[in-house]
Amino acid sequence: MVVGLNFIALPNEQGSGAFHYIRNLLSVMSEYTLHDTHFIVYKQRQIHAAYIGMPANADVEYVDVPTLGNGWKRIVFEQTLFYRYIKACDVFYSYCTSMPLLVHAKRVFTLHDVYYLSNPERYGWLQRTYLKAITQLYAKRAHEILTVSKYSMKQIETFIPVSRNKIRLTYNILPAHAIEEQKTDIPDKPYFLFVGSIQPSKNIIRMVDAFEQFNTDGKYQLIIVGKPLHAAETILSHLSGKPDVCYLGYRSDKEIAWLYRHTEAVVLVSLCEGFGIPPLEGFLYGKPALVANATSLPEVVGDAGIKVNPLDINDIVKGFQQVTDCKDELVLHTHKQIELFDKNTTCEIWMNSLHINYTK
C-alpha cells in the first residue's frame, strides 16, 4: 500500500491548527506497528522532515516541491506542475482543503470547517466565491471527506452538496506523549491564556475589552499567543497601551506547554471554531476554559468550562468572573472531556480511511 501525504499547503514551520491536527495523528500513529505501507510525503523544500513528525517506524519517502508560500502560487502549482512530482500511489491524502483534483488514487482530505460559507463577512465576495467553488469541487472529487467535530459535519452537510456517507468524523486529539516544557518570561501575575491565530474570527477585541472590564484591580494578566493572519494589524493595534494584556507572538510548542501548565484558564471566545483545540490542550494540564457558547466549542468543553455569548462583552466579563470563582469545580470535569476525544479511536478511523495496515 502506497499512501501519499500532501503537506505542500504548509508554508513555514509555524503550523496552524490544521497542521497540529495531522501532526497529533502522526504522533499517535507512532504507537502502532505499521505493515506493508510506504508513505510518500510531499512538502515545500524549506520545511524540514523532522518538523512533519512522521513516526520513526514508518517507511517514508520525502518529495520536495519548490518554495511556494501560502497564496495563489501554491494553488496554481497544485493543479498544474505538482503532477510532475506526484508518484504512483493507492491513496492520496491532504490534511486541509488542498488537493490535486486529477491524481489517480483514492482521494481523501480533511475539511476542518466551512466558516467562510456560513459567515460571509469573513472574506470578500471574490475570495468567498472562489473558496465555495473550490471546496465544492474538492468534495465532489474526493472519495472520502474527514472532519473534526459534529458541528463541522452538520455545517458541511448544510453548505456542501455531498452525501453524508462520504463524511467521517476524526476529532482533533492530543498527541501521544506529553510535550517537553520551556519556560517563557512573563510578568509575575496570575494570567488567562489565549492561543490561536490573530484574525477577526477569534473575537480577540471583544475578549480583550471584556478582560479589562473584569480586571479593574489589575490582579490578572491576559496572555495572547499566535501568529498574525489577515486583518491582524487592527487587532494588534487595539492591544497597545494595555498594561495587563501581553501579546507574545508565535511561540514554540514547548513554550505553549509551559504557559498551559501555569495559566488560570484557557480563553477562546471565537465567533467560529471547527473544533477549537486549545481548551482540550488546557484540560491536559487540569485547566478550565472560558469559551463561546456557539459552534463546536460547547461540544469540546462540556462541563469543564464556562460558555458565554461571544457577541456580548458583558457576558464575557461575567464569564471571566465565573471561571475564576468555579475553577475547582470545573477542573473536576477536564479528564472526562479528554476521554470523549479518544486519540486511539480517532487515529484508527483516520488510518482506516487511508488503508494503512497496522496492529496495536
Give tens-digit pLDDT for 166-175: 999 999 999 9
Q: What is the radius of gyration, based on Cα positions, of the chain?
A: 20
Q: Give the whole-number percent of the chain exceeding pLDDT 90.
A: 85
CA gap 93, 129 in Å, rounded: 24
Which three three-digit cell numbers place residue 326?
468555579
CA–centroid distance for 317 within its chain = 26
Mean pLDDT value across residues 289-308:
97
- DSSP letters, 20-65, are HHHHHHHHHHTTSEEES-EEEEEEETTS-HHHHT--TTSEEEEEEE
Q: What is the pLDDT of residues 73-89, one digit of tens each?
A: 998 999 999 999 999 99
**CB distance 258 to 282 below 8 Å:** no
Q: Is pLDDT above 80 for 350?
A: yes
Helix pair angle (253-262, 277-284), 10° resolution: 70
3-class DSSP state for residue 255?
helix
Using DSSP's 3-state secondary structure scheme, residue 249 falls into strand
Which amino acid, one-letter code, is at 350? W
Gap between the Cα atoms of 290 and 308, Å rounded: 8
Name residue, grid cell 458541511: 156
Flag whether pLDDT at 32 surpasses 80: yes
> What residue type is assigned to position 282 of the chain?
G
CB 288 within 8 A of CB 331: yes
d(CA 61, CA 73): 25
Give how far the C-alpha of residue 25 lies from the chain's centroid of Cα atoms, to the nearest Å: 12
Q: Residue 104 pLDDT > 90, yes or no?
A: yes
Sign of CA dihedral 12, 289, 230, 124: positive
Cell numbers for 23: 501532526
Question: What is this structure's pTM?
Answer: 0.93
